Amino acid sequence: MTPNQQTRELLQRLGVPDAAYDDGDLPVHSPIDGSALGHVPSHSAEEVAHRIALAQQAFLQWRSVPAPRRGELIRLLGEELRAEKETLGLLVSLEAGKILSEGLGEVQEMVDICDFAVGLSRQLHGLTIASERPGHRMMETWHPLGVVGVISAFNFPVAVWSWNAALAIVCGDPVLWKPSEKTPLTALACQALFERAAKRFSDAPEGLSQLLLGGRAVGEQLVDDPRVALVSATGSTRMGREVGPRVAQRFGRSLLELGGNNAVIVTPSADLELAVRGIVFAAVGTAGQRCTSTRRLIVHESLRGELVARLRKAYGGLPIGDPRVAGTLVGPLIDQASLAAMQRALESARAEGGTVHGGERVAVSGCDGGCYVRPAIVEMSAQTATVCHETFAPILYVLGYSDLNEAIALHNAVPQGLSSAIFGNDLRETELFLSAAGSDCGIANVNLGTSGAEIGGAFGGEKETGGGRESGSDAWRNYMRRATNTINYSRQLPLAQGVKFDV
């Protein structure tokens, strides 16, 4: 069955009408073979404005619904996702090019955030604070924030929406989602599943979850509208540099999840077999198109030759091909532009003295229009400008070090600060890496790779990664506003700080 035929069958099963992806102006292609999957209609400026107004009206109703009741809607959404995990997971593979297990894993992540959010719906609590004034009590309360805009990228076409939507809706906020122009069909599928859950819930307000489909102009309108209280944007650092200031100019909130240039340090005490497994998955999983993909390997000089040899052997045996086929571990790049960017990066690395292993295009039978490549290992003598730049492709730059402090300095000497890892069994070295003098990233792991974050641990990073945190223990606070309340239960009116103002 062709990707087009499979996609249509899946969308019909999920309840997406043909009109939602036929005869529109936005073409959608499968990275598997480059074939057309559909043509999605973009929303006009008037339609975007109408949907934002509808979301604002939904907020005025939804904010007064008790949080545990709001959690019930997300519980029902989790049930719908569980029931259609295989269907939606395969659709992710068709539209984003992920291997089947990763497509299914992404849907499982959606289920997990729904479970997490349901639990949080009974824990959106503030503090009681001791007052210096007799007969007074202070406390903080948390209230729904307002309309939440979500801008997501192609590489996690459904999970990122769910991270935001599950928590936002539990917190009392409607959600407007602008998916990547490269992956709008999975967004249509998610919206259909949400509508199933809302129908079972029976009294969710119209406009609680809506899609905004289109290109840059649609995103700009969402970012600039003062009725959108929070913009959660996942994508490139370039995108974040535009979104952040525009939202700040109108005093809105932004939650930015941007680029990563993630490194693994391998110390002399490391278990090399474990390190190879962790590095290979983190470097080539999703064809190197995760924001947490390992892009730099900083290895002790005593191990460098052996580890590179082991990695080259592992890379040589990687099954590359159609992501729908069982056993495939490396699927396609998303499009020709990504392939071209990878080849430019490899040429730059060669010009800077690097030795490149792999990186060439791979022919896959029946997938002539797809962009398949052999993951590349590039041995570098220094951390050059090319190494410091994030290329969204399976390129692993290898650097050597002699002293751990030198390795940590190399690790931190890039603009991004998302994920990091160290392999080693010397407690002093691994603890140094986790300390304030170690990794400067938002995620720091020991004896596992940089990819594979779990729900419950805050996801995000520092510097050009944007500073946002999603899906963690206190991530719900992004979607709420805090009020400080002071209650006087006495018959006196003492003032704070000993101020006297007798009338």
In this predicted model, what pLDDT tens digit does every residue of 275-305 receive, in sequence order?
Answer: 999 999 999 999 999 999 999 999 999 999 9
**Which phi and psi angles does 323 have, rounded to 5°?**
-65, -15
- Predicted pLDDT of residue 452: 84
Residue 171's closest CA among 308, 70, 266?
70
Q: Which CATH class is domain 262-446?
A: alpha beta
pLDDT tens digits, residue range 417-465? 999 999 999 999 999 999 999 999 999 999 999 998 899 999 999 999 9
Could you tell me if 215 and 182 are in contact, meaning their C-beta atoms sit under 8 angstroms apart? Answer: no
Residue 278's closest CA among 268, 257, 259, 293?
293
CA 131 to chain centre: 41
Q: Where are the beta strands (DSSP E) in 224-290?
A: 228-234, 253-257, 262-266
Active centre residues (catalytic)? 257, 291
- Predicted pLDDT of residue 316: 97
Could you tell me if 65 and 173 are in contact, meaning their C-beta atoms sit under 8 angstroms apart? Answer: no
- Predicted pLDDT of residue 400: 98
Percentage of the chain lying above the pLDDT 70 cut: 100
The angle formed by the CA atoms of residues 78, 159 and 87, to the nearest 5 degrees, is 65
User: Is the full-model pTM beyond 0.85?
Assistant: yes
**CATH level 2 (architecture), domain 49-258+466-484:** 3-Layer(aba) Sandwich (3.40)
In the chain, domain spans: 49-258+466-484, 262-446
Sorting pLDDT into bands at 50, 70 and 90, what band is 171? very high
Q: How, if at all, do strands 376-379 and 395-401 pair?
A: parallel
CA distance 393 to 402: 28
- Predicted pLDDT of residue 153: 98
- Predicted pLDDT of residue 6: 98
- Predicted pLDDT of residue 95: 98
DSSP 287: G
CA distance 367 to 334: 13
Residue 314 has pLDDT above 90, yes or no: yes
pLDDT tens digits, residue range 251-260? 999 999 999 9
pLDDT tens digits, residue range 39-80? 999 999 999 999 999 999 999 999 999 999 999 999 999 999
Residue 235's closest CA among 149, 337, 334, 151?
151
Residue 219 has pLDDT above 90, yes or no: yes
- Predicted pLDDT of residue 417: 98
| Average pLDDT of the chain, as a whole number | 97
333 forms beta bridges with 371
CA 101 to chain centre: 18
Please report which helix (H) or strand (E) contains residue 141, including its range.
strand 136-144
CA distance 206 to 210: 9
Sorting pLDDT into bands at 50, 70 and 90, what band is 361? very high
Helix, coil or strand: residue 401: strand
Sorting pLDDT into bands at 50, 70 and 90, what band is 222? very high
Could you tell me if 236 and 259 are in contact, meaning their C-beta atoms sit under 8 angstroms apart? Answer: yes
- Predicted pLDDT of residue 431: 98
Residue 357 has pLDDT above 90, yes or no: yes
- Predicted pLDDT of residue 238: 95
- Predicted pLDDT of residue 401: 98
Q: Write the single-letter amino acid at 270.
A: A
Q: How, if at all, do strands 262-266 and 376-379 pair?
A: unpaired
